[in-house]
Amino acid sequence: MAQHEVRRTSKGYSQVPSGEHRLEPPQNDIQGFIKIFSEHKILSTMLFVATPAGFGSHYMDMEPQYVFACNFVAIIPLAWLIGKATEDVAAKTGETVGGLLNATFGNVVEMLICIAGIRNGEIEVVQCTLLGSILSNLLLVMGCAFLAGGMFYALQEYNQAGAAIQCSLMSMSVFAIGLPTIYTNVLHQEAEWEHMVEVSRWASVLLLSIYFAYLVFQLKTHADLFQDEGESDEEEDPPDLSMGTASVTLLLATVITSFSTDFLIAALETTVQTWNISKEFVGIIMLPIIGNAAEHYTAITVAMKDKMDLSLGVAAGSSCQMALLVTPFTVLVGWFYGVDMTLNFHMFQLCVLIFAVFLVTTILNTGRTERESGVLVGKTNWFQGYILLVTYFVLAIIYFFEGPNHKHALADSY
């Protein structure tokens, strides 16, 4: 049976397929592209079909719901291609620069969606997308990973210290989002709103400092807390593309994705009316899927191979990135455009985030034991994954039946 190796990224780890023996690197970039596309036939087909369809639907002035649907599908393979190109560039730049590249381009799709939303005045959708990406990783991805892994192993272990750090970061992000939200809802005054905008902007700068400190902590000073025992002996597969080709591919994929996200957001208003769904459902449930589909697959497959530290590194690590990198970045982008993008996520959304973080923290701190080496480990099972999935589906049902009527929108209720 084929073995699998893993590659370290700033989000945690990603799975790198290989044969039983180490594969030689492609002799040139053409062979590299052939290898990449042949190993991911579904995503490659989507890339070469859905991407032109997304552009064509926009420039042919098709109905907005078709423009939205085509570009929604197109962004999934584009996100995968960005991730692959980033890995190959990072493999040539060293651990520190590679970690920063993965941190930046690992979330570039979400960043582009948020920029497009701000430029189109869809602040509600932007905030819902940020929250939805956090919830998707905490509940959907982690739940699927626990459930899928539990189908093959009765109990699975992970490094408790690394999980505790990520839980602390999520709790801190709840604190950072919660205070501006509560502040605004307690004091309904125009002057206080202006103060809250300033607080959100400067708090975002501090959140970014926390994230970069977390990168140093995870990649340099305490890397062992986020690894499986014995993993340091594993070697990485060579990149499939050269530095120059991978850089050009990364740039082109990012530019194309920026157009696709603009087309998607521009078609959103009419689409939600036509499909009779709410913007909150699109932002919290639908949009997070397209930016992280490849990572979601990785988290589940490595969990099925009993590599729970790797799986948690993707699921919980991605949530931390969304909360500590993408969210403050989006607030600063709003500042740049002169738009009042704030950390006020409305009371219901704040409550959902609090409950989700509380549930995940409770699960990750249950069943702790100590190995003979003295390492404290946590244990998971399939039932915990099912709990997380049901919680996510209940949330999806709430937003699905909300409807497009703004008078009944949860985000407009104070």
Per-residue confidence of the chain (414 residues) as pLDDT tens digits?
333 334 444 344 444 444 444 456 666 778 888 888 888 888 899 999 999 999 999 999 999 999 999 999 999 999 888 888 888 887 777 666 666 677 667 788 889 999 999 998 889 899 999 999 999 989 999 999 999 998 998 888 888 887 888 888 888 888 888 888 887 777 665 666 677 888 889 999 999 999 888 888 877 787 766 665 555 545 566 788 888 898 899 899 999 999 999 999 999 989 998 898 888 899 999 998 887 777 787 788 888 888 888 888 788 888 888 899 999 999 999 999 988 888 888 888 889 999 999 999 998 887 666 665 666 778 888 999 999 999 999 999 999 888 666 555 555 544
Q: Are 43 and 80 in contact (CB under 8 A)?
A: yes
> What is the rounded distance in angstroms from the CA atom of residue 402 to the CA atom of residue 284?
13
Token couple for 263: 């087309």
Q: Is 161 exposed, middle or buried (0-12, 13-18, 19+ CB in 10 A)?
A: middle
pLDDT digit string, tens, across residues 327-346: 999 999 999 998 888 888 88
Q: What are 267-310's pLDDT values in tens digits?
A: 998 999 889 888 889 999 999 888 777 778 778 888 888 888 88
User: The tokens of 33 are what?
Assistant: 């592209």
Per DSSP, 80 falls in state: H
Are 163 and 378 spatial neighbours (Cβ–Cβ below 8 Å)? yes
Find, among 76, 136, 135, 94, the residue nearest to 8 by Cα: 94
What's the rounded Cα separation, in Å, for the pair 266 and 25? Answer: 42
Among residues 11, 305, 315, which one has the least CA distance to residue 141? 315
